Amino acid sequence: MPLVTVNPATGETLHRFTEADDARIDQAVARSERSFVAWRELAPTERARHLQRLGAALRRDSDALSALITSEMGKPISQSRAEIEKCALACDYYAQEGPDLLVPTLPPRAPAQSGIAYEPLGPLLAIMPWNFPMWQVFRAAIPALLAGNTVLLKHASNVSGCALAAEEVFRRAGLPRGVFQTLLVGSGRVPALIGDPRIRAVTLTGSVEAGRKVGALAGRALKPCVLELGGSDPYIVLEDADLALAAETCAAARLVNSGQSCVAGKRFIVVDRVRAEFEELFAERVRARRVGDPFDPATDVGPLARADLRETLQKQIRSTLRRGAKRLLGGGPKKGAGFFFEPTVLTDVRKGMPACDDEVFGPVAAVIPVRDEAEALRVANDTRFGLGAAVFTRDLERGEEIARERLAAGMCFVNAFVRSEVSLPFGGVKDSGFGRELGPWGVHSFVNTKTLWIEGSSRTEK
């Protein structure tokens, strides 16, 4: 069955790719295993130099790669360019800081004859989604490669062109053949790949349902995995918040990538005292975002990536409205070609409504009224997700205490929207998955943390 890519702005088919057969998959896995033997023997500083060259290659190819992202999944071109630059920044970070993260260590109070070494595991299967078709690939792959592993990419079928382009960037940057490879396969091939004894670890960014399946397969095969899954991030607006800042930040957080981000703000929990003013400011900021041609640099919101995603979003809104929510703005698909959807603000959203309970992937914001801070925190944490969260308050000590102690999420921000930063851990709790990417944690997710014990008087002190 071919893997088809479609332009979301027009609905036109871009390309049909042939899925890899069993022989080609076996060759790729064998090549990854062979490449691992040589790649792991390079000093971390040499692997870092390869990553430095990779960052330079990404910047050289930025225009073409950005255009490909926009063509295949509809991201506004300015955001596509920013995505490529972020990939390059990850290369810069690990090229500079990465080797120090792999230096053998002696933990506090450990015996003098002991130590900790970090050893790569082997070929890693990276199963990646379509919404950040380059960043999520590089976010997972770069620290794993720095650690000495090799990577096989199984990308979302609707961004197959981006998947091939990613492999081509590695080739043009001069990395050894087989260190990073793309496998053009559908999800039906994933169980066999995870079960292949030559694959030593798995990382997935995707839905909760995909995470359950991949986690079960990895567990059955006794292979480590990192699962970065969905989110329904709460943004709490307290009575002492700077409402202009909160409204602008929340609008940006909800509409980034046209609302198609796991860490986009989704539930806006507002205390009654400031609710009316916040809703007015928030709707105004959302209304001001320009929807249109994703190749126009002035566009803020592009199309959804696929037709079925738009249909799901419309069903979620209709169900939410039937159960008592009110529409402040938008609410439906835009007429004309492509998979565009109006930026939408719903209010009086409550538990039991899809806009509150489920991950809503698109430009739809749910305002949830609450009496006070205590109720805001109960509502924020009353979710199966736990990826990101934010709180808005002028009292920074109060905001930090809430973020540090009282919000159940992997990443908590005060007076800012949740986003990834290359030096900090990225990941969630509960149904949002487990494990961490980026920073030192991204490197150590896929290593054998090996205990050493060396007896004898001739050991050189270091």
305-314: pLDDT as tens digits: 999 999 999 9
Q: Residues of 72-110 as b/e, b for ≥16 C-beta within 10 angstroms?
A: bbbbbbbbbbebbbbbbbbbbbbbebbbebbeeeeeeee
Helix (H, G, I), strand (E, B) or coil at 326: strand
Question: Among residues 177, 380, 184, 419, which one has the least CA distance to residue 268?
Answer: 380
Whether 277 sits among the annotated catalytic residues: the reply is: no
**AA letter at 320:** T
Instruction: Identify the pLDDT of residue 458.
Output: 60
Residue 198 in tokens: 């030559």
Catalytic residue (one of 228, 342, 373, 437): 228
Q: Over 70: is that where the pLDDT of 397 sits?
A: yes
The overall average pLDDT reported for the chain is 97
What SS3 state is found at 339?
coil
Axis-axis angle for helices 272-288, 243-255 (nearest 10): 50
pLDDT score at 443: 97
Confidence of residue 81 (pLDDT cuts 50, 70, 90): very high
| pLDDT score of 394 more than 50 | yes
Per-residue pLDDT band at 462 (split at 50, 70, 90): very low
Q: Is 225 a catalytic residue?
A: no
pLDDT for 410: 98
Contact 129, 309 (CB under 8 A): no
Domains annotated for the chain, with CATH where assigned, are 3-224+446-453 (3.40.605.10), 233-414 (3.40.309.10)
Of 159, 136, 150, 4, residue with least CA distance to 71: 159
pLDDT band with cut points at 50, 70 and 90 for residue 460: low
Contacts of 191 (CB under 8 A, 6+ apart): 217
Whether the Cβ atoms of residue 354 and residue 210 lie closer than 8 Å to each other: no
Active-site choice (262, 279, 373, 437): 262
**Using the 8-state DSSP alphabet, how is residue 404 labeled?**
I
